[in-house]
Amino acid sequence: MGNSLYAGAARRIINPPLGVQTAGFSSREGVVQTIESDLSATAVVFSDGEQRLAIIAVDVAVIPRSAMLKLRQQIGEMIGAPAANVMINISHTHSSAMLPTWLQPSNPEQVRLQTRYENDLMRWIVEAAGEAAEKIQPARIASGWGECRININRREMAPDGKVILGENPDGPVDPSVGVIRVDNLDGNPIAVLFSYACHTVVVGPRSLVASPDFPGPARQIIEEQMGGLALFLQACGGDLMPIGGMGYEVDCSESNHRLGTMLGAEVIKVAAGLRTHVQRGARTSLSSISRITLWPWQPVEGHPCTALGAVDGDVELPLIELPSLEEAEKIRDQWAKTLADAQARFARDAEINITVRFADWGQKLVEAVKTGRRSLMLPIHALRVNDVVIASIGAEVFCATGMAIKAQSPFAHTQVLGYSNGCECYLPLAEDYPAGGWKVQERYGVPDMLFQSYSLPVAIDPASEQMAVKGTMELIQKLV
């Protein structure tokens, strides 16, 4: 089996229980009342006969890094590979279940529902990877690029000069669609992997459903037309929104289907143009009155694996200066009182959701000051299959970062993902920080400056994005 490529794919449905709280929208009132369409975890396992690596795409908003570390280890043991050979990318759908390891709920019923779901979710993901490994068969791989303009920069400048979440048609955007086709030897898809950068928020906060958002209908149309399993890989969409913004309607299914179909159709167009089982032969002439020449299709011999490997690591990102212990304790106590007051008067869910998050942050802030925490460890990762590379950063990465890494990569086909192997924070560029510097007491109007949402004590240093780019490029270079 050495020097030949093998691949297998498998899926598990990962729908959460009804009644569970969702992650992603602090303004969402209520819990999941129905499943809009199936959420899934889909795995592809590659092998060269000596080693294996896995890519798993999961329809969740966030899985903490601590859980990801354990999960990658379990998957590695299941497929016979080191954890470094396992990449887990989350779609970041805002209509998926909250997990207790992300933010421990105070409601006992939510503790029960979320804990049960998290246990099921981890088991389903491992099972999908295990089944994919069992289905390994001779395979070939091809890749290409498309373009889909359903995303827009969301960092809009308000009249007062402050950045808000809106639409900025003049801001940077990455419309590229990365497509990887994994076929059996007959040229039929085992899997189609596609990456795209955009927040999965078409199904908005007024819709009390569990949903994979626009990747769901995109995958459906791809699988109907191409066969095999389709994997959506969330790219660097930290500053990108769907055209039209997040859904406002209670029923967002029409918009969700439209945008998903547009993305899926582009993937089909690119994938249909990739041939793995035949290649263009030498020019030949056709006996005819006219002078006709043509190039007949000829079978491809073998299924070589020219390279298979993975490298992972961490980038240590510095935090900006912490406040004094007195100031941190004052912030903690203020938010603890605000939460207690809101709970005592049975405030709306949206208010409770926000105050729970900030109360948790206040406690983390005090702990950081007491322990002298000065940095954040950011996971980075890169995989190579033949001449295709997938690199990832465990953060909500901005599109300009992904485009910069692709431009610098020595590999013609390099997909760059965020939201992988954990999601530690937003990763804005230095120029995206407030002009006067990030302030611990400020309530910013755009999520990427609310480092409190990730319970970071303070913002990461503005130089962090360039440090992440440098670290990721060093990993990619190791795969050359």
Specify the amino acid at residue 259.
Answer: L
Burial class (CB in 10 A: 0-12, 13-18, 19+), 160: exposed
What is the full per-residue pLDDT of the chain (480 aa) written as tens digits? 469 999 999 999 999 999 999 998 888 889 999 999 999 999 999 999 999 999 999 999 999 999 999 999 999 999 999 999 999 999 999 999 999 887 777 789 999 999 999 999 999 999 999 999 999 999 999 999 999 999 999 999 999 989 999 999 999 999 999 999 999 999 999 999 999 999 999 999 999 999 999 999 999 999 999 999 999 999 999 999 999 889 999 999 999 999 999 999 999 999 999 999 999 999 998 877 778 889 999 999 999 999 999 999 999 999 999 999 999 999 999 999 999 999 889 888 888 888 988 999 999 999 999 999 999 999 999 999 999 999 999 999 999 999 999 999 999 999 999 999 999 999 999 999 999 999 998 989 899 999 999 989 999 999 999 999 999 999 999 999
pLDDT number for residue 1? 45
Is the pTM here over 0.75, yes or no? yes
Residue 295 lies in a domain: no
Q: Are 173 and 135 members of one domain?
A: yes
Q: What is the largest CA-CA distance in the chain?
A: 93
Q: Are 370 and 401 members of one domain?
A: no
Q: Are 323 and 402 members of one domain?
A: no
Q: Are 362 and 400 members of one domain?
A: no
pLDDT number for residue 2? 61
> How far apart are alpha carbons 62 and 434 in whole angstroms?
26
Q: Are 412 and 365 members of one domain?
A: no
Cα-flanking dihedrals φ and ψ of residue 146, to 5°?
-130, -170
Give me the residue label for tokens 């969330």.
Answer: 234
Q: Are 411 and 462 members of one domain?
A: no
Beta strands in 31-171 (DSSP E): 34-35, 40-47, 52-58, 86-90, 96-97, 137-138, 140-147, 151-157, 163-168
Residue 284 lies in a domain: no
Q: Are 226 and 349 members of one domain?
A: no
Q: Are 229 and 323 members of one domain?
A: no
Give me the residue label for tokens 């109907």.
Answer: 224
- The DSSP element (H or E) to which 229 belongs, if any, is strand 229-234
| Domain count within the chain | 2
pLDDT number for residue 347? 86
DSSP annotation string for 384-411: EETTEEEEEESSEE-HHHHHHHHHH-SS
Q: Are 37 and 166 members of one domain?
A: yes
Read off the tokens for 120.
């099921």
Q: Write down the number of H helices and E strands in the chain.
A: 8, 26
Q: Are 442 and 324 members of one domain?
A: yes
**What is the span of the domain harbouring residue 400?**
6-277+395-417
CA atoms within 13 A on the CB side of 424: 26
Which is nearest to 379 in space by CA: 41, 78, 83, 40?
Answer: 83
Q: Are 370 and 236 members of one domain?
A: no
Residue 380 lies in a domain: no
Q: Are 235 and 329 members of one domain?
A: no
Give me the residue label for tokens 């890749």.
Answer: 143
